[in-house]
DNA sequence: CTGGGGACGGGGCCC
DNA sequence: CGGGCCCCGTCCCCA
């Protein structure tokens, strides 16, 4: 599992009680077919947006658990450090989100590479062997062609990419309603929809509306006769990769894929 | 148990 | 270079 999704677990059970806010904006639900809410959206949400840039610097240091890194997630959760707690005031839910455990096998991949200076995040993930830091400090200064994240072992080929990645650690976009923090404004915007109940993306087939375009896309698969993901053994198709995987690993194809 | 929906995250691309 | 948006993908929960 490449992403920090795993981390979500912790708050999966304590989701904010969206139901309360839900539908406040029922009117909005009018469901505009795939409306681009971009502007409209931002307009109404801006109110809810909080660009807590000021926290950035602060967050940097602790960097701590904002990034449990792939598999080690559980570890982190157990030790919620300080940082995020303030960062997002929500301490409750957000610290879990993180940024980027690279691809599969994060542990293996990461452990050895950890060269970040910032203790915290990766620290628990792997043994403290990364003394090899001497190099990194600042990506730019590093002799390496890559820009290294000081919060995690990730490295990028461009400063812009690194900066964007760093946001996943600093989570500058904070929801004023629940305090949850996000790395990007549009993520926050999407999150805010969970509070407002706005669902700008509607299915042309059944008119069902969704707050998230990706979810609509997934939903559209359910209308398709032939789903996107097909079992190589029985040819059965599924709307989601996860369903195909479940299918594969639990029966049809005795071979786990 | 399976399918579907909800909520998110990250990389990449475009402006 | 930065912001915004899209696409793809994943996890969790529920019916």
pLDDT on residue A2? 33
**DSSP structure class, residue A149:** P
pLDDT on residue A252? 67
With cut-offs at 50, 70 and 90, classify the pLDDT of residue A3: very low
Could you identify the residue whose CA is nearest to the C1' atom of nucleotide C9? A241
Q: What is the mean pLDDT of residues A170-185?
A: 86
Spatial contact of A31 and A200, defined as CB atoms under 8 Å apart: yes
pLDDT tens-place string over residues A115-166: 333 333 333 333 333 333 333 434 344 444 567 777 777 777 777 778 888 8
CA distance linking residue A214 with residue A114, whole number of Å: 33
Q: Is A98 left (phi over 0), alpha (psi -120 to 50) or beta?
A: beta
Question: How many Å apart are A198 CA and C13 C1'?
Answer: 21
**DSSP structure class, residue A60:** H
pTM: 0.52
In this model, does residue A47 exceed pLDDT 50?
no
A246: CB within 7 A of chain C nucleic strand: no
**Would you tell me how many other CB atoms lie within 10 Å of the CB of residue A23?**
15
Could you identify the residue whose CA is nearest to the C1' atom of nucleotide B11? A161
pLDDT tens-place string over residues A97-121: 333 333 333 333 333 323 333 333 3
Residue count of chain A: 257
CA distance linking residue A3 with residue A67, whole number of Å: 10
């Amino acid at each position: 599992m490449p992403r920090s999704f795993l981390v979500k677990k912790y708050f999966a059970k304590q989701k904010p009680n969206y139901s309360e806010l839900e539908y406040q904006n029922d009117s909005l639900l009018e469901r505009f077919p795939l409306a681009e809410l971009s502007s409209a959206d931002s307009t109404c949400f801006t109110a809810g947006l909080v660009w807590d840039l000021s926290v950035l610097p602060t967050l940097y240091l602790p960097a701590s658990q904002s990034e449990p890194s792939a598999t080690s997630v559980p570890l982190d959760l157990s030790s919620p450090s300080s940082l995020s707690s303030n960062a997002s005031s929500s301490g409750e839910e957000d610290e879990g989100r993180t940024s980027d455990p690279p691809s599969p096998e994060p542990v293996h991949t990461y452990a050895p590479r950890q060269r970040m200076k910032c203790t915290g995040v990766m620290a628990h993930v792997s043994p403290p062997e990364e003394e090899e830091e001497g190099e990194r400090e600042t990506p730019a200064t590093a002799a390496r062609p890559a820009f290294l994240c000081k919060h995690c072992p990730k490295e990028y080929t461009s400063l812009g990419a690194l900066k964007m990645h760093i946001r996943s650690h600093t989570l500058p976009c904070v929801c004023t309603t629940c305090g949850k923090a996000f790395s990007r404004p549009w993520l926050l915007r999407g999150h805010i929809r969970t509070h407002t109940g706005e669902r700008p993306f509607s299915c042309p087939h059944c008119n069902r509306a969704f707050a998230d375009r990706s979810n609509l896309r997934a939903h559209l698969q359910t209308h398709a006769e032939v789903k996107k993901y097909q079992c190589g053994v029985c040819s059965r198709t599924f709307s989601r990769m996860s369903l195909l995987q479940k299918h594969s690993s639990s029966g049809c194809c005795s071979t786990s894929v």
